[in-house]
Amino acid sequence: MLELLASLQDSELVARFQRRCGLFLIEDVHHSGERNGLPLGHTDHSDDTPSEKLKKRCRPNGHVENISEYRREYDSDHKYKENGVVVGSCSGPRYVVRNRLLYFLFLLSAGLGHEVFYITVLPVIHWNLDPFLCRRLINMWTLVMYIGQVMKDLLKLPRPSSPPVVKLEPRVDAEYGLPSTHAMAAIGISFTLLLSATSRLQFQFEVGLLIAVVLSSMVCLSRLYTGMHSVLDVISGALISSALLFLTYPHWEAFDRFQLTSPVYPVMALVLPLFLSYTYPELDHYSPTRGDTTTILGAGAGSSIGYWVNQQLGETFEPKGRLPVPLPTLTGSVLALGTVRALVGIVILVGIRQIVKTLSVRALYSWYRVPLSDNNARRRKEIEVPSKFVTYASVGLAHCLVVNRVFILLGLQWSNSNIL
């Protein structure tokens, strides 16, 4: 068993997957011979190696200045005639992409686990589909992400090493690897949406199941392609998230009632996430996991309080009529209105995020007598935790309480003819 776990944790296994998908370290391309597409025994008679030529082509921002010119010289020196070669950043990992379709597909899939996805797609489900579904998704997302982040910093298992792996997301390289929270979130969100939507919307379950499997699989595979997780990390994340779904699913209805009707829930929804943020496991070096976890807990807390307030006000913005309701016909007017609502809502959330973030950081810098020019102070626990928690709790509150009411003021509410 230990031998199997070690093999699943092996960086070379990830590197082989990357090479199968057409992603190579640039050093591998001109050193490894036939294995990566170059003839064995080939000798480079030029004065500069391809890596040295690449460095000379770099702008100050670290990107290749002229990919086509570099490619011509590379082809000339090495008789390398593969089509569609793309060279990566010079300041970061230097790599060659021989399959552009997989490259962009996996980068897009990896983006489904980043903040830009959570701050756009989840609220859009609330505004344009059903707040009930969004509430379920946020609850499960908060749970799986917190457990995954804490496990990373308790187990402290490293990410794949480079070389041999190409790492496309160096920002998160300071974090530990197991489990993959991308895999956990992908499975948690996909299957929570599928299981919750059956009682709310009329759709073919088999189609929904296929979509959930494909999306979650693409996100899981993207963590191997980007070189940020081992196979063991991804499998562990998928299994943990599946277990959490299995254990919590029977209690979703009971928690819904408690979340919306209990008079003590708002206090609990605020105090517990804040407590978990401050008691997050300490590391001997700085890692973005604490800040990212605080962001998630803050957004979950703000959203939960917002849903509770809407319930007390008697306006939940949920579908009217007998459930499950049919999906609306995707006419041009429905798509246009949904797009406008999404754009207006996202602008509001991003604006609130920026305003609260700036004000909270300035207030904390002033309180702790830190000069505004000291950007490293933002990593201090007493500044990072409250600033991120307040910022994203405000975003969560706004997405529930503010945006739908702005739609009404702007005349962007759904009419009886196209409401769900």
The domain segmentation of the chain, as residue ranges, is 23-98, 108-409
The amino acid occupying position 85 is V
When pLDDT is cut at 50, 70 and 90, the band that residue 318 belongs to is confident
Looking at every residue in the chain, the average pLDDT score rounds to: 83
Alpha helices in 22-130 (DSSP H): 26-31, 50-56, 67-78, 100-111, 115-118, 121-128
When pLDDT is cut at 50, 70 and 90, the band that residue 49 belongs to is very low
pLDDT at 137 > cutoff 60 = yes
Mean pLDDT of 174-184: 90
Report d(CA 158, CA 176) in Å as an integer: 5
**What pLDDT is recorded for position 413?**
83
Report d(CA 195, CA 197) in Å as an integer: 6
Mean pLDDT of 375-394: 92
Which residues have a catalytic role annotated? 182, 229
Q: Using CA atoms in the order 192, 193, 194, 196, what is the torsion angle rounded to 10 degrees?
A: 80
- Locate 26 and state its tokens: 């640039």
- Locate 225 and state its tokens: 């392609």
Report d(CA 5, CA 324) in Å as an integer: 45
**What pLDDT is recorded for position 29?**
44
Report d(CA 169, CA 221) in Å as an integer: 15
Contact 98, 24 (CB under 8 A): yes
Contact 114, 185 (CB under 8 A): no
Mean pLDDT of 14-19: 93
Of 86-90, 148-152, 251-255, 354-358, the one with minimum mean pLDDT is 86-90
- Locate 204 and state its tokens: 């073919």
**What pLDDT is recorded for position 187?**
95
**What pLDDT is recorded for position 27?**
62
pLDDT at 279 > cutoff 90 = yes
pLDDT at 364 > cutoff 80 = yes
**What pLDDT is recorded for position 375?**
83
Mean pLDDT of 110-131: 84
Q: Model pTM greater than 0.95? A: no
**What pLDDT is recorded for position 330?**
82
When pLDDT is cut at 50, 70 and 90, the band that residue 284 belongs to is confident
Mean pLDDT of 248-259: 95
**Contact residues for 265 (Cβ-Cβ < 8 A; gap 6+):** 258, 259, 304, 308
Of 132-136, 213-217, 285-289, the one with minimum mean pLDDT is 285-289
**What pLDDT is recorded for position 93?**
55
Contact 355, 394 (CB under 8 A): no
Mean pLDDT of 190-211: 93
Share of the chain above pLDDT 90, in %: 56
